[in-house]
Amino acid sequence: MCSSMQEIVKHKRSITVFTIVMLLYIPSILSANYNIISETIPQKDTLLQVNDSLQKLLIDSSALSAKELRAIAKEKKFVEKQQKKEKRDSAKGARDTLRWSEPRILNTYIIPDSLKYKRLITWSHDSRFNNIRMLNPDTTFNENFQVYPFMKNDVGATYLGISGSAAQTHNYFKRERLDLFEPFEPYLVYSNTKESVPFYNTKTPYTEMAFWGTLFANRDKEESNLKIMHTQNLSPSFNLNFTYKRFGAAGLLPREATDNRTVTMTANYLGKRYILHGGYIFQGIKREENGGVLDDKMVIDTTTEDSKDLEYRLKEADNNLKRNTLFLTHSYGIPVRWSKNDTLAYGEGTMTYFGHSFEYSTYTKKYTDNIDQTDSAGRALYNNMFLFSPTSTFDSLRVSSLENKAFIRIQPWAKDAVISKLDGGIGHQLMTIYNFRPEFYTQGRSQQSHNNIFLYFGALGRFRNYMEWDANARYDLSGYYSGNLSADGRIRFSLYPVEDGIHLTAAVRIDNRTPGWLGNNYYSNHYMWDNEFSNITETKLEGSLEIPKYKLSIFAGYAIINNPVYYGIQGLAAQHPDIVTIMSAYIQKNFKFGFLHLDNRVLFQMSSNKEVIPLPEISANLKYYMQFELVKNVLTAQLGADVSFNTPWFAPAYSPALGLFHNQNDRQIGNYPYIDAFVNLQWKRASIFVKYLNAAQGWPDGDYFSAHHYIRPQTALKIGIHWPFYVK
């Protein structure tokens, strides 16, 4: 009997252990066979079955050991935990299903209704009153064909021959001014300011990746340009953006390697009442300076195979510039309702907006060189001027600006009324300048601070889609810019006898300003001046005509500048005590004859005093090509040539120590057609090109200079790819 009982207990333990093992494997077995079982038999809650079985084992536990009971209890606890997790996941899934099933519509007054449902929209903002200006992003092979930003914005430019180097557009009306820190003016074209940085709103995450460069060139001639951009919405109203851009090259000549990088991070919120634009911009430039070719004839009159063999002016010189900008502009709208039954949407009817704008920017520049006393070429570049050290230079500039503005906007009637906005604001800028002065030797280092207080005003309106206008004014009450006055106005008329309309715009700007601090006072190893320049008065009149259907754009401008400040032949700041006038006319017209395309951009300019403001009389960019589909709706190709040309003129020289362009009367540059042969492809969304640079090098001569003593790229193969894509 005892033996029989032992066998029964032993047999029962074996069954128990087998049951536990099977219960542990049931979920995985069911999971592996779910697809098969679900098609034939309705399934019950597996975890509940396991829990019930374990519960029965615990009740009938008289014949189990303590170790076996602990194992069963542990497994029961695990199953209960999984049951709770399953309930939480189920509830979360239900909530997510409801949330994602709701329409994700951008609900804001500031964006036109016609754009709210687009997958991607982009704009720039005006920090004065938190206005926005819609942009039209173009990611096709026509837009991405031009690598250098100044060639996208203008028909030509003076630059130092390689990507990322200092540049100045030929078109006077497109030159950016930065009185706060002039040495950064030549580099703004590669980056953005807070007024030009693009903001985005997208229904799905969007990314752009691009590379343009000379992949197959020798390392010492390599050029590489890179762009990475990603933007996505965290909600229908809130968007984040990250952009990284790098322009640079090793350089054709020795010691001209350039590395120009920009990092931009922005955020925007477009709500029913609250609008926010904010971000951070960093731009850093590292450049080896060689002062340019020693003898231009070695390029023009000879067939030098390797530009590295050319002699240059500076053997050891470097520039390092940095710019940091942190900004925020936000405003809140309060509707004025005349009755309780007023059902106007936010942004409609009478509104009052209160806003604030903040910006903190820092700019630095460090220039170093070593010029031996026997180096006649290097010393001649700076007119043998060595004020503090006979051989070594370390010049440093630093400026910071902390600016706050508060503004109010009144919308008397409606956002699309003839008078739709009346604006007013007050601002304060704390400007701090470190610029070496001789008294620092005895009094110690110090910096100048200016508290600039100003008032500003604005107004704008529109009449349906036929007319829109705006006007702005600013008056400086105190500080460095005390007494300055600027005003501008613009009106645009649109008619629609053809698709996309005909648009005529007229603008005027009057500016009475104090010259930048650099032109008034500067002390360094190679330059010194102490000026008291008079205010500059400038009036600009502009008009433009656009007919998108016929791909026609015409611009005309007239500028009157009284007391202009410029940098003369020796690089010294000077002021012309009279009036200089500038006339400008620009036309862009694209023709199509079957598969043959002729894209033309031509600029005409006249300066009344070329010794003060020199300009090329004619600059042109002609892109002639055949376009055809290789694979319908998949692959389109362009095959042709891109030509840039300008008439001879005294193109500016460049001073590495100043980091600025200045006038010269040594030699005229131009009358040379710079031709790039190319194949340009649009493959679905990706744009791809292959260019053979300077294909006609040596014809009619070798005068392919871009600035005084600086040459453009020699023959080389350049490849580019731009790939935009949405994350679904």
What Rg, from alpha-carbon coordinates, does the chain have? 34
Indicate if 487 and 610 belong to the same structural domain: yes
What are the CA-CA distances from residue 35 to residues 24, 27, 82, 244 (Å)? 20, 14, 22, 47
Q: Can you tell me which residue has the tokens 């990746």? A: 209
Cβ-proximal residues to 162 (8 Å cutoff; 6+ apart), any chain:
223, 248, 249, 251, 252, 256, 258, 713
641 within domain boundaries = yes
pLDDT digits (tens, 9 = 90+) for 349-388: 889 999 999 999 999 999 999 999 999 999 999 999 999 9
Task: List the one residue out of 106, 105, 112, 152 whose CA is nearest residue 132.
Answer: 112
pLDDT > 60? residue 45 = no
Indicate if 655 and 707 belong to the same structural domain: yes
Q: Tokens for 686?
A: 């990706």
Domain end among 53, 72, 101: 101
Q: What is the CATH number of the domain that holds 364?
A: 2.40.170.20
Indicate if 59 and 189 belong to the same structural domain: no
pLDDT digits (tens, 9 = 90+) for 138-194: 788 888 899 899 999 899 999 999 999 999 999 999 999 999 999 999 999 999 999
pLDDT digits (tens, 9 = 90+) for 653-677: 999 999 999 999 999 999 999 999 9
Domain count, the chain: 2
pLDDT digits (tens, 9 = 90+) for 314-336: 999 999 999 999 999 999 999 88
Examine residue 700 and say whether the peptide bond preceding it is cis (omega within 30 degrees of 0).
Answer: yes
Indicate if 49 and 153 belong to the same structural domain: no
pLDDT recorded at residue 27: 42
280 within domain boundaries = yes
In this predicted model, which residue has the larger pLDDT, 204 or 114?
A: 204
Going by DSSP bridges, is the β-strand pair 653-655/674-683 parallel, antiparallel, or unpaired? Answer: unpaired
Facing residues of 241 across strands? 231, 266
pLDDT > 90? residue 56 = no
pLDDT > 70? residue 341 = no
Cβ(152)–Cβ(700) under 8 Å? Answer: no
Name the least confident of 40-44, 215-219, 548-552, 713-717.
Answer: 40-44
pLDDT > 60? residue 439 = yes
pTM for the model stands at 0.84
Cβ(177)–Cβ(692) under 8 Å? Answer: no
DSSP string across 125-160: EETTTTEEEEE----STTTSS--SHHHHHSS-EEE-
pLDDT recorded at residue 300: 86
* Torsion sign (Cα): 562, 564, 569, 574: positive
What are the CA-CA distances from residue 161 to residues 12, 174, 252 (Å)? 91, 20, 8
| Burial degree of 133 (CB within 10 A; 0-12, 13-18, 19+) | exposed
107 within domain boundaries = no
114 within domain boundaries = no
Domain that holds residue 20: 2-101
Measured distance CA(706)–CA(421) in Å, rounded: 46
Measured distance CA(490)–CA(501) in Å, rounded: 19
Task: List the one residue out of 283, 266, 245 whose CA is nearest residue 122.
Answer: 266
Name the least confident of 345-354, 649-658, 701-710.
Answer: 345-354
Indicate if 416 and 500 belong to the same structural domain: yes
Cβ(237)–Cβ(106) under 8 Å? Answer: yes
Indicate if 87 and 131 belong to the same structural domain: no
Dihedral angle computed from the Cα positions of residues 33, 36, 40 and 42, in that order, rounded to the nearest 10 degrees: 40
